[in-house]
């Protein structure tokens, strides 16, 4: 059986590929907070999260994402990822902190991303 974090990240990747508002909203509780960086105001609730996602969307097929769970315990997970945008020659290292409701949806999602100066 997959962990809560693994199932959530699989759903995130599905939503990233589809950019379907239903897939995006399904990841989060109705009052969830989504922080695109730890020091910015959060997007709060489904409407704001979906609108922000669509505003910042990546077209399917323009990126690749590899990830692993750094740590998971009930209610929280830390994910390390790498996002590659080959056509733009951009490559990012990601750190996600996901706080979960009991039903597996995120109550809070915070991402950090750093552009890599080299690929490898």
Look-up of token digits 């020091």: 39
User: What's the pLDDT at 51?
Assistant: 98
Mean pLDDT of the chain: 94
Q: What is the dihedral of CA 82, 80, 111, 120, to 10 degrees?
A: -30
The CATH class of 4-115 is alpha beta
Q: d(Cα 6, Cα 69) in Å, to the nearest integer?
A: 8
Question: DSSP per residue over 53-118, as a string?
Answer: HHHT---TTS-EEEEEEEEEETTEEEEEEEEEEGGGTEEEEEEEEEEE-TTS-EEEEEEEEEE-SS
pLDDT per residue, tens digit, the chain (120 aa), is: 679 999 999 999 999 999 999 999 999 999 999 999 989 999 999 999 999 999 999 998 999 999 999 999 999 999 999 999 988 888 999 999 999 999 999 999 999 998 887 655
What is this structure's pTM?
0.92
What is the C-alpha radius of gyration for the chain, rounded to an integer number of angstroms?
14
Going from N- to C-terminal start, the domains of the chain cover: 4-115
């Amino acid at each position: 059986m997959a962990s809560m974090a693994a199932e959530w990240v699989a759903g995130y990747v599905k939503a990233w590929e589809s950019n379907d508002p239903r897939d995006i909203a399904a990841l989060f509780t109705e009052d969830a907070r989504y922080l695109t960086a730890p020091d910015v105001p959060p997007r709060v609730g489904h409407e704001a999260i979906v609108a922000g996602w669509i505003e910042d969307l990546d077209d399917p097929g323009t990126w690749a994402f590899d990830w692993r769970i750094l740590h998971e315990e009930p209610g929280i997970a830390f994910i390390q990822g790498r996002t590659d945008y080959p056509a733009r020659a951009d490559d990012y290292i990601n750190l996600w902190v996901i706080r979960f409701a009991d039903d597996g949806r995120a109550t809070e999602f915070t991402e950090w991303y750093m552009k890599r100066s080299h690929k490898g």
